[in-house]
Amino acid sequence: MRDTASEVRDTAIRAYRKVRSRARRDGRRIRQRWRTATPQQRQTATVTAGAAALGLVLAVTAVATSGPWDSGQRTAERSRAAAREGRSGGNHTGDVPGGEGAPGAPRVLPALDMDAVRGDPAGGGRDADSHGPGAAGVPPPSREALADTLEPLLEDGDLGKVRAVSVVDAATGHKLYAATSHKAVTPASTVKIATASAALSARGADHRIETKAVRGTSDGQVVLVGGGDPTLTSAALKDLAGDTARRLRAGGHKGGEVSVRYDTSRYSGPVRHSIGTNDNLAPVSPLMTDEARLENRSGTDGAPAHGPAPRSADPAQDAAADFADALGDHGVEVKGKPKRAEAPGKAKQLAVHRSAPLSALVERMLTYSDNDIAEALARQTALGSGEPASFKGAGRAVRDRLGKLGMPLKGAHFADGSGLDRGDKVSPALLTGLLAKAADPDHAELRSVLTGMPVAHFTGTLGSRYGSDKGKQGAGLVRAKTGTLTGVNTLAGTVVDADGRMLAFAFMASGTRDGKAAQQSLDNLAAALANCGCRDSPSAD
């Protein structure tokens, strides 16, 4: 028979284990609440804890003054306190340079000093062994803290069967959190991040796409040459016609008839996307006006036209007909209807229209998820890489350019530039790698990949999102590219977290059944990341 002492001991051990297990669970809950609390809530908790600590100090002091302690014990306590003086206890703020007392709060949105971060191994640079404070002395989040924040939300059943996640530190490119981050899945429109990066790498941020009018095989022939600018407007085409008419007259053409031809040889391959005729994308042609829209050709509130609309079946022919009509308006008589023909080699230029810089086209594409611009940028990548300007040629060129940028390409496939093709496959690690590369000062040509991102609750495809109770915490803080196909929902972009650290993220879900619910789940994830002070919490020790 066991003696009483053994029973007491075993009971005490069981009780201790039970209390320890409960404490661990409670600690995890406290850490999660702390990391997902708003900065204001954290400040309130800190002040409350400080007040409680002060109350405890006052209470202990009162007991020490009047408590029933032996005078010899009090003397010993005072001796120990005197021995420790100067090391802790008296001045918790420490020495502050300049004698200004407590240090001020860090700036809310500190600038990313990438060069300083990368140059200091202790600061968590790209070549450093470990993460350090990084930009503005703000340390990056820990994986454990991010897991506390993200994993409960990733368990949401609305995200379908396949969930792939990557979160990296934008200042260093280092991985912070990953869940099957190298799994290549259907990205939908988030593939536009890859399209934009490849085009900027191939052509440069300042490249402009030209639409030209040149002389044909005779002085009486004018050829309109499409260069691949889907943002060419009807008004700009009329201006091009006016410049052409003036140049014709200046060159000795005194009112005789001209014939109009149009050249679409810049592109090759099929003009139809695999999805067929669709309001989301015009036939892919190097010559079109207003993205070949038959309706809604003008945007609202100063924004360019965007979103689905009926499209012309032959954008190039329609543009050439409009050009011929505009020549007539400027006093040039045009005989017959425009016909397709290639311009002669080294043709004499009459007039030219240049698009906005490629960086501006990238921003417009990302903000409004513009499929026509996306396909045009993919072909610019092909043209800048010596590949045919077709779906297949553009896909090869995009992959090649991303490889030269050092991106992880295992399983990646680029069937188009817009993400409408389900054959596209990219990984979250590829997307966050590109976002971090765009933040790198050594790749300033990619910066418009970041600046073009829609702003949560304010611009572009995120303008109507982040209005829910959870999502609104990310309003104005999340900048991200959306991606939506039936059964596919993705979101990739950047946030500046509650500690002022810039993070790049990619959340990719497949097998979703309720698109709106899946979007809400993705928005909740990004909002939680933006609101996260994912470092040490009160119970971390």
CA distance 515 to 159: 9
Q: Element (H or E) spanning 518, and its range?
A: helix 515-530
Q: What is the pLDDT of residue 29?
A: 59
3-state secondary structure of 503: strand
Q: What is the pLDDT of residue 261?
A: 98
Count of residues for the chain?
541
55-84 burial: b if 16+ Cβ within 10 Å, else e:
eeeeeeeeeeeeeeeeeeeeeeeeeeeeee
Global pTM value:
0.78
Q: What is the pLDDT of residue 136?
A: 54
CA distance 329 to 245: 10
389-410 burial: b if 16+ Cβ within 10 Å, else e:
bbbbbbbbbbbbbbeebebbbe
Q: What is the pLDDT of residue 468?
A: 82
CATH 3.40.50.2000 fits 208-357, yes or no: no
Q: What is the pLDDT of residue 24?
A: 58
C-alpha separations of 513 from 110, 157, 520 in Å = 40, 10, 13
Bridge-based pairing of strands 259-263 and 221-225 is parallel
Residues of each domain in the chain carrying CATH 3.50.80.20: 208-357
The answer to whether the CB of 140 falls within 8 A of the CB of 525 is no
- Residue type for position 264: T
> Which residue numbers in the chain have pLDDT < 50?
1, 44-135, 537-541
- Domain 143-205+362-531 in CATH: superfamily? DD-peptidase/beta-lactamase superfamily (3.40.710.10)
Q: Which two tokens stand for residue 254?
A: 């005194």
The answer to whether the CB of 416 falls within 8 A of the CB of 375 is yes
Residues of each domain in the chain carrying CATH 3.40.710.10: 143-205+362-531
